[in-house]
Structure 1
Amino acid sequence: MSSPVLDLFSGFVQIDRQSVQPIYLQVAQQVINAVQRGYLMVGTKLPGSRALSERLHVHRKTVIAIYNELEAQGWVEVRPNKGTFIIHQQQLLKLEKPYAKLVSLAQYPSQTGYDFRKSTVLDSPFESTKSDFYFSDGTPDIRLTQLQNLSRLYTASLKRKTTLKRMTQLHQDGSAYFKEQLSNYLNFSRGLHISKSNVLITRSVEMSLYIISRILITQGDKVLVGELSLFSANMVFQRLGAKVLTVPVDEQGLNVEYIAENFRTGELRMVYITPRHHYPTTVTLSAQRRIALLQLAREYGFVIVEDDYDGDFLYEQSTVMPLASADVDGMVVYVGSFGKSLAPTFRTGFVVAPDNLMVEMRKYLGIIDRQGDVIMEHALGEMIEEGEIHRHLKKSLKVYRERRDYFCDILETEFKDIVSFQRPTGGLAVWTIWNNNISLFKLANNCVPKGLFIPQNLLYQNKKLAAMRLGFGHLNKSEIEESLTVLKNAVFL
């Protein structure tokens, strides 16, 4: 008759014979886990080596190696002529019926044994799909990325002795070379007047917004966003305790007059804007409202956080510059991303702000991302200095402009009775207004069986509005045609 301890071994020991880890170590670790969790208690006599080898289907020498390992680590004691016993002396939790329920100790627990706070604010709105085609909210096509050039720059940077030296040094502030090149690039392309000391390098726009908000927002502060606004930014503000209020948005962008009429000096802490192409409607904040918003910020004392999330994707000749380029009072914090047209690995976020705020932001960056990616930053800096990023943007913008026109031409001819829109001057998405009698959620569901996926975060429908933000940048012309054909046919299902 087998002993309860021998049966217990069969229950919790799982051997992976394909693993590179030796079998004796696999079993020894699981025995230690069994002791720690109370399945094998202090004083328990372990099975003999011959009996255990038969039960586990391993060589007897393997069992001896298991026991030797346990003895070396201080978990068992071999007593001559008596056997091998568990001797760990800590106060271990004991089960009332330790053999009543056999649990595999090779699996990690699926639930915690303690309570913790859960956030509904930070629930991800993104959905996954296996459909052939999908619409995004305006993402680039990584197929256009010149990976060979990127790989060449990255590899060359990695091999340099100077780069290897930088890797051994602390770079809490990021690559000084990259920041210098990026500040030059922003001065040229955005009309800014900054130096590298005004630039903070982050992993993403979301990280930038989190660091900014962590410093500037306290519990109960009022933050204004567009009536329709970027959900990830709103999530950050709400999670940090801000009271998020909305401002109407029309064909001229954020309604600045509404702010002046409904709030007083000192009442607002922050106004978050995406003025170049308002998210999600893609409208541009008018010149008059830009001037008015800067004046209002000075008068009322609130911070303007300007998110230029698609500043590299401009199709028309335009003199519309970021508000940060006209800010002389230090009221604007400018946020953006560099390399959005490149592969995801080669993208990075940045913040532009006055020196005193930059000092504080570096403290938080030192906690969140102390080392950064020195090699990647150096490669991106070389892309700027050698003009590679300019050449890449010039080529990709031509493709995206053609895709925008093709997308909009089909909308104008095939959807003219049910959809209205303005051809965007930049960005990778079109804001479409639908007949209000069409259920967009039903429409999205009708598309799925036909191989087209439309995420719910692209749908905006209430009693007054039925709209979709449809990204075209990641689709080539044939994919655009097929996707819009499915979308049109689904309307009448």
Structure 2
Amino acid sequence: MMNVLSTLITPEKGGKQPVYIQIANQLMALIREGTLQSGYRLLSTRQLAAILKVHRRTVVQAYDELLAQGWLESQTGNGTFVARNLPDLRPLPLPVAEKPERDPLKKAGFRFDQPAHLDRPVLKAAFRLHLDDGFPDPRLAPREDLSRAYRSQLLHGSPYVRLGYGETSGSNWLRQELSAHLNETRGLKTSPANILIVRGMIMGMYLAVTSLVKPGDCVVTDTPGWFGATMNFIQAGARPCHVPVDEFGMDVDALEELCSKQPVKMVYVTSHHQYPTTVALRPDRRIKLLQLAEKYGFVIFEDDYDYDFHYLSKPLLPLFGADQAGMVLYCGSFTKTISPAFRIGYLVGPEDVIAHLASLRRIIDRQGDVMLENAIAELFQTGVIQRHLRKSVRVYKQRRDFFCDLLQSELSGSVRFEVPDGGMAVWAQFDPAIDIPALAEQAAKKDLYISNGKAAGYPPQFRNYIRLGFASSDQHELEECVQILKQLL
């Protein structure tokens, strides 16, 4: 055994990990594999030190570590033994001639489901040029102001309060500032108690669906729509149902017909700029949707992902502001306002629902980033966010006009579209003869990202439609993007 140990325990002197820890870990592995059985008497510290050519004190430290962890036990005057209370382990042949059949770092030894609805690629910023899904330009973000505000929150005030646990519902300061902002810009009548701070719209939707939707419930989205909502519904065990979209938004007559045939629990709607088509829900349909919710008792989940970016006239106010029956949950985020990297969103609803969702949020995320939330609150208080929004609207409108002119002049034979009233992307229909996935692959080779259409989950009749985001690129970049598409087409 002395000869065997000299080959199985091979500490690396001068490595990053202390030698005694290496010896302890390797002895532990031998015990775990069954090579050293429970009750086995180990060599004395002097003997093992001589074999390994290390200082005796190093082996003493290794033994002490394993004694403290319960792998070894010591008997005064009799030596050190592998703990007798360990279960019997089947020894592996020495030396191990074959590699193990399974790498536990790559493949679990237990079974788990991998639902198809979760198999969806994650968008990442990996290309120099991008006509993305409609993202903001982080270069416009008030980064210096945010940096100063964050530093101020980090360094000033009581560290115990500033750096300790906060409210599950989010920073009270941010909820106060956000309530005032929403009331002023969207015609709402909220208080901080109506607002739950979340890490983006996705989290707000997950909380609402997990809490309010039960397995088997019918939930409604429009089609084409946002597959992220459908993923949440499927994950909750609900039955996704779909109603069509036309040039005036969700077809509420089709929704009414569906409600007359079966109970509906929730309706997901992007009322301001429908995703992905960018059309707005017409006022008469808004009124009828609220009436249907009150009549049939379903929840309206209103995703207002880019309310602040409207270019023609004053934007239509959210459904939440006209809701007299408490049927609407209103959700937005700072993803489009500042940058996707800043994970702060807000869920607005009746006080009792917000309190309930805050208690649910506690078991998956005790609280958000209090430092960042307070920094954002400071930027609201000082008017930085408001000025940033006014500037961004001007810039994005210029980019929309420039991009649409380019599409019309350079790609009119291959792409059809309507100039969007707002938002950050154009809903583009490519010629049916064009293979969108192949086009996306060819564009990627030229360092240009466009959607391949697969991840969006649109129904077959929309297979040649994709969103072309213009907001995240300046005019020079947009021109380069269109020229690449022109060459490929």
- TM-score when normalising by structure 2: 0.90
Q: Counterpart in 2 of 1:111?
A: 107
Alignment equivalent of 2:485, drawn from 475, 487, 492: 487
Distance 1:286 1:213 in 2: 26
Correspondence for 1:403 = 399
* 1:6 alignment counterpart: 6
In 1, distance between residues paired with 2:229 and 2:339?
23
* Shift, 1:17, TM fit: 4.0
Choose from 337, 342, 346 the match for 1:341.
Answer: 337
Q: Is residue 461–residue 467 contact of structure 1 (8 Å, CA) maintained in 2? A: no
| Structure 1 residue 67, shift from structure 2 partner | 3.3
Alignment of 1:302-451 (within 5 A): 302-338=298-334, 340-451=336-447
Q: Which residue of 2 aligns with 1:279?
A: 275
**Secondary structure of 2:326's match?**
coil
1:248 matched to which residue of 2? 244
CA distance 1:342–1:38, shift in 2 (3 Å): farther
Deviation, 1:150, is: 0.5
Aligned letter for 1:380? I
- What's the counterpart of residue 215 of structure 2? 219
Shift of 1:89: 2.4
Helix, strand or coil at the partner of 1:406: helix
1:121 maps onto 2:117 in alignment: yes
> For the residues of structure 2 that align with 1:116 and 1:186, how far apart are their CA atoms?
43
* 1:465-485 superposed Cα distances (whole Å, 9 cap, x missing partner): 511111122222222122221
Partner SS, residue 280 of structure 2: coil
Identify the residue that residue 263 of structure 1 maps to in structure 2.
259
Deviates more, 1:142-151 or 1:82-91: 82-91
Task: Give the counterpart of 1:192 among 172, 184, 188.
Answer: 188
Give the match for residue 475 of structure 1.
473
Name the CA shift for 1:460/1:467 in 2 (closer, same or farther; >3 Å). Answer: farther
Residue number among 174, 178, 183 corresponding to 1:178 in the alignment: 174
8 A Cα contact 1:307 1:334, kept in partner: yes
The alpha-carbon distance between structure 1 residues 84 and 486, as it changes in their structure 2 partners (threshold 3 A), is: same
Counterparts in 2 of 1:167 and 1:77: CA distance versus 1, 3 Å: closer
Shift of 1:250: 1.0
Amino acid at match of 2:8: L
Q: 1:128 to 1:320 in 2, by over 3 A?
A: closer
1:289 aligns with 2:285: yes
Shift of the alpha carbon at 1:166?
4.7
- Inter-partner Cα distance in structure 1 for 2:159 and 2:373: 11
Deviation per residue, 1:314-333 (Å, 9 max, x gap): 22322411111111111111
Map of 2:58 onto structure 1 = 62
Q: Is the 8 A contact 2:306 2:423 kept in 1?
A: yes
Match for 1:153: what amino acid?
A
Structure 2 distance, partners of 1:53, 1:247, is: 75
AA partner of residue 82 (structure 2): I
Q: Which secondary structure state, in structure 2, belongs to the residue aligned with residue 475 of structure 1?
A: coil
Task: Tell me how far apart the structure 2 counterparts of residues 98 and 339 of structure 1 sit (CA, whole Å).
Answer: 57
Q: Deviations over 1:49-95 (max 9, x none)?
A: 67866876755553343234334555345789987542352214323
Please state how far the C-alpha of 1:300 moved relative to its aligned partner: 2.1
- Percent identical pairs in the alignment equals 38
Structure 2 gap segments, 5+ residues each: none
Q: How many Å separate the matches in 2 of 1:138 and 1:172?
A: 31
Matching residue's letter, 1:7: T
Tell which deviates more after alignment, 44-53 or 405-414: 44-53
Q: Which residue of 2 aligns with 1:158?
A: 154
Distance 2:457 2:441 in 1: 12
**Cα separation, partners in 2 of 1:178 and 1:464, compared to 1, 3 Å:** closer
Q: 1:74–1:88: 8 Å Cα contact kept in structure 2?
A: no
Given residue 367 of structure 2, which amino acid in structure 1 is its aligned partner?
A: Q
Question: How far off its partner does 1:210 sit?
Answer: 0.8
Q: Which segments of 5 or more consecutive residues in structure 1 lack a partner in the other structure? A: none
- Distance in structure 1 (CA, Å) of the matches to 2:110 and 2:306: 43
Aligned in 2, Cα 1:51/1:390: closer, same or farther, shift over 3 Å?
same
Distance 1:278 1:208 in 2: 18
Q: Do the aligned residues in 1 keep the contact of 2:224 with 2:462 (CA within 8 Å)?
A: no
> Structure 2: how far apart are the matches of 1:354 and 1:209?
15
Question: Is residue 2:27 matched to residue 1:31?
Answer: yes
TM-score normalised by length of structure 1: 0.89
In 1: Cα distance, 2:93 partner to 2:304 partner: 62
Residues 453 and 88 from structure 1, CA distance in 2 versus in 1: closer, same or farther, beyond 3 angstroms? farther
| 1:308 positional shift | 0.2
Deviations 1:137-164 (A, max 9, x none): 1111212222211011111122232564
Contact 2:21 2:62 in 1 (8 A): yes
SS in 2 for 1:247: strand
Aligned residues: 485
**1:407 deviation in Å?**
1.3
Could you say what secondary structure the match of 1:220 adopts?
Answer: coil
Matched residue type, 2:471: G
State the Cα distance separating 1:451 from its structure 2 match.
2.2
- Whether 1:300 and 2:282 are equivalent positions in the alignment is no
The farther-off stretch of 52-61 and 192-201 is 52-61
Distance 1:128 1:308, change over 3 A: closer
Matched residue type, 1:479: E
How far 1:127 moved relative to its partner?
Answer: 5.0
After superposition, the Cα gap between the structure-2 partners of 1:359 and 1:72, relative to the gap in structure 1 and judged at 3 Å, is closer
Per-residue Cα deviation, 1:207-256 (whole angstroms, up to 9, x for no partner) = 10011111211111111111111111110011101110111111111111
Shift of 1:487: 1.5
Cα distance change on mapping 1:102 and 1:81 into 2, 3 Å = farther
More divergent stretch after superposition (456-465 vs 198-207): 456-465
> Residue 170 and residue 82 in structure 1: after superposition, are their counterparts in 2 closer, same or farther (change >3 A)?
same
Moved more, 58-67 or 322-331: 58-67
What is the match of residue 230 of structure 1? 226
Q: Hey, what's the Cα distance between the residues in 1 that align with 2:405 and 2:365?
A: 45
User: Aligned partners of 1:16 and 1:477: how far apart in 2?
Assistant: 58
Question: C-alpha distance in 1, partners of 2:105/2:436?
Answer: 41
Q: 1:373 to 1:298 in 2, by over 3 A?
A: same
- After superposition, the Cα gap between the structure-2 partners of 1:396 and 1:34, relative to the gap in structure 1 and judged at 3 Å, is farther
Q: Is the 8 A contact 2:227 2:457 kept in 1?
A: no
1:321-366 Cα offsets, whole Å, 9 max, x none, are 1111111111111111136332445341111111221222121012
Alpha carbon RMSD of aligned pairs, Å? Answer: 2.9
Q: Secondary structure at the match of 1:226?
A: strand
